Copies of this chain bind each other. A is one copy, B any other.
Amino acid sequence: MDSNKVTIQDIAERAGVSKSTVSRYLNRGYVSREKAERIREVIDATGFQSNFFAKRLKTKRSKLIGLVLPRIDSVSVGKLLAGIGDILEPEGYQVIMLVSQLKGDKELENIANLYQQGVDGIIVDSVGITSRHIALQKDVRVPILYTGQRHAEANCLKIDDEAAGRMMGAYLRQMGHEKAVFAGVTETDIAVGVERRKGFADAFLEGRPKAKVDFVETGFGFLNAYNLGGEILQRKPSVIVGATDNISLGILRYLHEREVRVPEDVSVAGFGGYDVGAVVYPALTTVAFDFELVGMNVARRMLDLIDGHPSEGEVELPFFFVERESVRRFGADSGDRQSFAGML
Residues of A in contact with B (beta carbons under 8 Å apart): 1, 3-4, 47, 49, 51-54, 56-57, 62, 71-75, 77-79, 81-82, 85, 94-99, 101, 113, 115-118, 138-139, 141, 222-223, 226-227, 249-250, 252-254, 256-257, 275-276, 278-281, 339-341, 344
Contacts and interface: CB of A to CB of B under 8 A. Distances in A.
B226 A116 contact: no
B256 A1 contact: no
Contacts of A62: 53
A259 to B, nearest CB: 11
Given A57-B54, A62-B53, A256-B281, A79 B85 contact: no
Contacts of A72: 72, 77-78, 81-82
Given A52-B118, A94-B113, A253 B226 contact: no
A279 B94 contact: no
A253 B99 contact: no
A227 to B, nearest CB: 7
Given A94-B113, A226-B341, A341-B226, A47 B257 contact: no
A59 to B, nearest CB: 9
A99 B82 contact: yes
Contact of A53 (B56, B278, B339, B341): B56
Given A74-B78, A141-B3, A257-B340, A250 B279 contact: yes
Contact of A75 (B73, B95, B250): B73
Nearest to A116: B49
A32 B249 CA distance: 62
6 contacts: A95-B97, A222-B279, A223-B344, A252-B279, A256-B281, A281-B281
